[in-house]
Amino acid sequence: MHLHSCLSPCGDNDMTPYNLVNMAALNELDIIALTDHNSCKNCPAAVKVAEQVGITLICGMELCTDEEIHVVCLFPTLEAAMEFDKLIEPLIPNVPANADAFGDQLIMDDQDNIIGRYDKLLVTAANISIENVQKTVKQLGGVAFPAHIDKSSYSILSSLGTIPQECEFKAVEISARGDVAALKSQLPQLEAMPLLLSSDAHYLEDINPQRAWLMLEKPTAGEVIKALSDGCVEFGRG
């Protein structure tokens, strides 16, 4: 539920929509989400590849809020994601992309052709508060959850020290090496929430083979969003 393409400044240029979807298919994943930093502009290509390959691609974004908190936002359709992209774009500061210090921020088509380079740096904080993220995403039929909450930077715990009720998060993501037991004792509300252990993959070799599962009516973006919105879902690993 958390993959970066070559559009993310920190995403490897080999993480083209074509490559990342095919790598996920090789690893027998049924559903993946593309969540570039502050942008959904490689989702159109990724959706096309996923349709060809026969897996479900959820269009998403890893948004950086003005508190420097990363939040994963998932949408039911490409159209909803692109609507969100349009809302966020003016909120991204006008800092020029710097391909020497960061990546090329490539926008691709579904056949590995470069169709553009995004010119504002995508690792800056967008001018939206953490409290407004879930409300905005929900209006578009999506769901948002705080990313890698255990990390010492760009996480809700490093920034706020807790997960405020008013943010309305019903699921959280923990980084692959996160200590789930320690987090649960610190935050009892996690007991009742789906905890996503992320790959947060920036390189093709970081896309893990199938290990986690969610019980869904059908493998669609809508069903995943429903599962992560009401906190009531059967899930597991193995």
Task: Report if residue 70 touches Zn ion, rule: CB under 5 A.
Answer: yes
Task: Report if residue 85 touches Zn ion, rule: CB under 5 A.
Answer: no
Q: What is the DSSP string of 196-213?
A: EE---B-SGGGSPPS-EE
Strand partners, 74: 60, 143
Task: Report if residue 62 touches Zn ion, rule: CB under 5 A.
Answer: yes
**Amino acid symbol at 125:** A
Least distance from Zn ion to the Cβ atom of residue 37, Å: 7
Task: Report if residue 36 touches Zn ion, rule: CB under 5 A.
Answer: no
CA distance 174 to 186: 14
Q: Which is nearer to Zn ion, 148 or 170 (CB)?
A: 148
Q: Which is nearer to Zn ion, 147 or 223 (CB)?
A: 147
| Cβ-contact 24, 1 below 8 angstroms | no
Least distance from Zn ion to the Cβ atom of residue 1, Å: 11
Least distance from Zn ion to the Cβ atom of residue 153, Å: 9
Q: Interface residues for Zn ion in 119-158 (CB under 5 A)?
A: 147
CA distance 32 to 20: 10
Q: Which is nearer to Zn ion, 200 or 223 (CB)?
A: 200
Least distance from Zn ion to the Cβ atom of residue 217, Å: 28
Residue facing Zn ion at closest CB distance: 70
Residue holding tokens 């269009």?
A: 59
Q: What tokens were used for 207? A: 């896309």
* Beta strands at 31-37 and 56-64: parallel, antiparallel or unpaired: parallel
Q: Where do contacts with Zn ion occur on this chain (CB under 5 A)?
A: 62, 70, 147, 200
